[in-house]
Amino acid sequence: MPANRAVIYQGPGQVGIREIDYPVYELRDGPGVNSANVGRRTPHGVILRTVASNICGSDQHMVRGRTTAPEGLVLGHEITGEVVDVGPDVEFVKVGDICSVPFNIACGPCRNCKEGKTGVCLSVNPDRPGSAYGYVDMGGWVGGQAEYVLVPYADWNLLRFPDREQALEKILDLAMLADIFPTGYHGCVSAGVTTGSTVYIAGAGPVGLAAATSAWLLGAAVVIVGDLNKERLEQARSFGCETVNVSDGDPAEQVQQILGRSAPAIGQPLVDAAVDAVGFEARGHGANAATEMPATVLNSLMDLTRAGGAIGVPGLYVTGDPGGVDEAARAGSLSLRLGLGWAKSHSFVTGQCPVMRYNRGLMMAILHDRVQIARNVNATPIALDQAARGYQDFDQGAARKYVLDPHGMCGA
């Protein structure tokens, strides 16, 4: 069998490359594998040669030591790959197919999967509903920042690209279908973005930029992106977004200036829809920009969003954060101004994006040149051996979406 090198979490601030077992159709014991999943057979799975596996902000939370991830965990939940072997129960997926892998693993037959809630599948994680590759407390499915990876329930999970040559030409765009493009789109759909909407997106990282791209695709009139990072704000401006540097203070006044006479009332810098693409490691505004304040984004979005509006929350929040600013934050308990949201009749949608709800439609938008998501998030392919540098640069705020390219199929 071929060698299989992978990116491994080695402790806070450290990742490395290590050779791991070539995938088999059984979940074996290892770092992070739930004991109830050990020995689980996957004849419904396939083995992929990884074409692309992206570094995600959610991976960074683990690498910073902000979760309970064990050392030795194989990272990577944003996977695009070529099928090199199929299990005996696979009917429709064939060797040679190039496919996108939704980051949330779903079984297909459970109640939630049948209702389209694939982010909270009931069958793949003994600890709680919902699972993902290479992620803490998600059942222990091996991550895809590797040369080869197992994908279970392949006929259900995989999105096959219709033309191999076309897929390889657009591979950096299509690589965003595993997570950030559907996740950003889900945030906007959850917030009710539609034709003529005014939209505020907190966070100009890859998910925030994907959400901004999605807002334009959905017909927004104004898309405003807020962040502390000047380079990332410049990236948002590169495809038509207005920007707010929240290190200058509360974003409300800047939003008011942008909306001008289109604001609903004098003195009310209110948008129709808002998206939290930051999550639990949020920092404050203005003088508090260097201080971690995990509820800041959610509270500011309630302030910025009009009465009757909606807030999408694709940004990650956790139930266990060893590095939390206080005891409450370490348990995922935040000081939210829920009374304000209630008084304004806001609706909130949280949790994993159900990728399969959106990925096929977004694939068609990419294939027919309706959107350039790789350009908008500044997708940058790098070799597997450069993973540690990619994690470091991304952690320092690089305005890039790093795409690991283990087999040189993305132009690394």
Both 293 and 368 in a single domain?
Answer: no
**Is residue 412 situated within a structural domain?**
no
Both 29 and 171 in a single domain?
Answer: yes
> Position of tokens 């999605």?
214
Both 197 and 340 in a single domain?
Answer: yes
3-state secondary structure of 364: helix
Both 31 and 78 in a single domain?
Answer: yes
Q: Which residue range forms the structural domain that includes residue 31? A: 5-179+354-404
Q: Indicate the residue among 350, 367, 390 that finishes a domain.
A: 350
**CATH code: domain of residue 40:** 3.90.180.10
Both 80 and 211 in a single domain?
Answer: no
Contact 78, 49 (CB under 8 A): no
**Is residue 411 situated within a structural domain?**
no
Contact 93, 99 (CB under 8 A): yes
**Is residue 281 situated within a structural domain?**
yes
**CATH code: domain of residue 251:** 3.40.50.720
Contact 387, 15 (CB under 8 A): yes
- Angle, helices 206-217 vs 230-237, to 10°: value is 20
Both 218 and 335 in a single domain?
Answer: yes
What is the domain count for the chain? 2
**Is residue 373 situated within a structural domain?**
yes
- Overall size of the chain counted in residues: 412
Both 174 and 48 in a single domain?
Answer: yes
**pLDDT 10s digit of each residue in the chain, 412 long?**
889 999 999 999 999 999 999 999 999 999 999 999 999 999 999 999 999 999 999 999 999 999 989 999 999 999 999 999 999 999 999 999 999 999 999 999 999 999 999 999 999 999 999 999 999 999 999 999 999 999 999 999 999 999 999 999 999 999 999 999 999 999 999 999 999 999 999 999 999 999 999 999 999 999 999 999 999 999 999 999 999 999 998 898 899 889 986 665 544 668 999 999 998 888 888 888 788 888 899 999 999 999 999 999 999 888 888 888 888 888 888 889 999 999 999 999 999 999 999 999 999 999 999 999 999 999 999 999 999 999 999 999 999 999 999 999 997 5
Both 115 and 14 in a single domain?
Answer: yes
Both 365 and 346 in a single domain?
Answer: no
CA–CA distances in Å: residue 386 to residues 185, 346, 383: 29, 44, 5
Both 205 and 98 in a single domain?
Answer: no
Task: Identify residue 401 by its one-letter amino acid code.
Answer: K
Closest-CA residue to 178 (of 15, 349, 353): 353
**Is residue 410 situated within a structural domain?**
no
Both 20 and 121 in a single domain?
Answer: yes
Both 332 and 363 in a single domain?
Answer: no
